[in-house]
Amino acid sequence: MSGTITLLAAGLASLLAATSAAWQTADVEADPITCWWRTGGGGVRIGESFQVVLTCSLLETEAARAIADESGLEPSVVQLPPFDVVGGRRAKDVVTAGRRFVQYDYALRIIAENAFGRDISLPALQLTYRIESRVSGHSTVAAVQGRDFAYVLPPLSIRVLSLVPDNAIDIREAPVATFDEIASRAFRGAVLRIAAAIAFVAAALVAALALVGLVRRRRAASAAPGRVLPDGVILDSVRRELAAIRDESGSGWTPALTSRALAALRIAAAYDARRPVTQTLAGADATAADGQLAINGRARGVALVSGSATAGQLSHDGAAAGRTLRDGLARFTEARYGRDGAFDKARLDESIADSLRVVERLAED
């Protein structure tokens, strides 16, 4: 009986060993770790700092992965005699389908009297690693650690040329593109592409706004074919006309002054009530008729401007500016076309002063 149990146990052990070997053959790659050296140049000078990059490709799959002991590769720990390690850094790992890439960037130099004109090799470094397998059970996934393996880094020979020249200031070999530099360039390229896209969008918006403004101006010009002078020029001319009338009325009001004041107030009241103003292009020697104001637009020519607003058309419950212009129109209409022909100088002076302040605010707006 005991012999039978012994045979069954031996057979079961053989079956498990065969299954494990078959599983490792199917799921683990033949080379779980591969490393290589790169340097900026094959020749260096004594005392010159140069770059050496170590890159390792490790197995990284869902079924298994290679775990390397990297403690001996840190720039502060690694020893590469006869070369001195003067600096270095570890790049961020790069993971692809089935592989994980690890990279160390070292800064080396050599100071030795017997190295001139020779090929000096980096010392053989041994890297310890193991395979971690993931075994699925009924409801869990367990990680199984394999035994330790040793991987010897490939050799790298560097030619030592000569001493550094006395007049040398900065001797460098062509740099090796590391993972960090590649990632930095990719990030900078992405930022520049985003900035360019934003600039193009902003330029497109500015062009669209300019096009909309041009279309609106053309529509406004086509909707008002009689427009000769801009509103700012007309209101400024009305302001100057009222100021001149105020100064001339110091010696008394005349029918001519009241007629000029009435024409200017009608134009101002039209702008305040958002009513159209009539503009007629005339010659340089044109004379304004009763109810018109001749305005010299310089390059645009002389325009005869008139407004059709009356006191009765203005609202009685509007703003203070509208009430001021309405009262002024009523007083000057009564003075100009009244039957008695008398002028109440105090009331007309008050109206012209108040109306002048309203026109000044309209011109500023």
CA distance to 45, 47, 67, 129, 176, per residue, from 168 (Å): 11, 12, 44, 43, 22
Evaluate the omega torsion of the peptide bond into residue 82 and state whether it is cis, within 30 degrees of 0: yes
How many angstroms separate the CA atoms of 287 and 306, rounded? 13
Q: Is residue 309 part of a domain?
A: yes
pTM above 0.85, yes or no: no
- Residue 193 inside a domain? The answer is no
CATH value at residue 153: 2.60.40
Share of the chain above pLDDT 90, in %: 27
Strand (E) or helix (H) holding 268: helix 255-272
Quick one: pLDDT at residue 74?
93
- The gap from C-alpha 292 to its chain's centroid, in whole angstroms, comes to 55
Is 207 a domain residue?
Answer: no
Q: Mean pLDDT over residues 153-169, rounded? A: 73
- Do 116 and 253 belong together in one domain? no
Q: Is residue 39 in a domain? A: yes
Check whether residue 153 and residue 251 sit in a common domain: no
Shared domain check, 235 and 112: no
Its domain, for residue 236, covers 231-364
Tell whether 308 is covered by a domain: yes
Identify whether residues 46 and 156 lie together within a single domain: yes
- Quote the CA–CA distance of 303 and 282 in Å, as a whole number: 6
pLDDT of the residue at 113: 78
How many domains is the chain built from? 2
Same domain, 62 and 127: yes
Q: Is residue 352 part of a domain?
A: yes
Query: Measuring CA to CA, which residue among 91, 132, 87, 127 is closest to residue 106?
Result: 87
What lies within 8 Å, CB to CB, of 261 at 6+ separation is: 242, 245, 332, 348, 352
The residue with tokens 């590769």 is 73
- In this prediction, residue 12 carries a pLDDT of 42
Distance CA 342, CA 255 (A): 10
Cβ-based burial of 61 (10 A; exposed 0-12, middle 13-18, buried ≥19)? middle
Q: Is 13 part of a structural domain of the chain?
A: no
Amino acid 170: pLDDT: 56
Tell whether 249 and 172 lie within a shared domain: no
145-149, 201-205, 273-277: least confidently modelled range? 273-277
Assess whether 170 and 235 both reside in one domain. Answer: no
Examine the domain organization and report whether 143 and 252 are in the same domain. no
Question: Do residue 151 and residue 276 come from a single domain?
Answer: no
CB of 275 within 8 A of CB of 266? no
289 pLDDT exceeds 60? yes
Per-residue pLDDT reduced to its tens digit, 14-33: 444 444 444 444 444 458 99
Single residue among 110, 145, 176 that ends a domain in this structure? 176
Residue 299 pLDDT class (50, 70, 90 cuts) = low
CA atoms of 117 and 123, how far apart (whole Å)? 19
Q: Is 293 part of a structural domain of the chain? A: yes
Residue 161, pLDDT score: 82
Co-location of 151 and 255 in the same domain: no
My answer on whether 32 and 172 are in the same domain is yes
Residues 120 and 249 in one domain: no
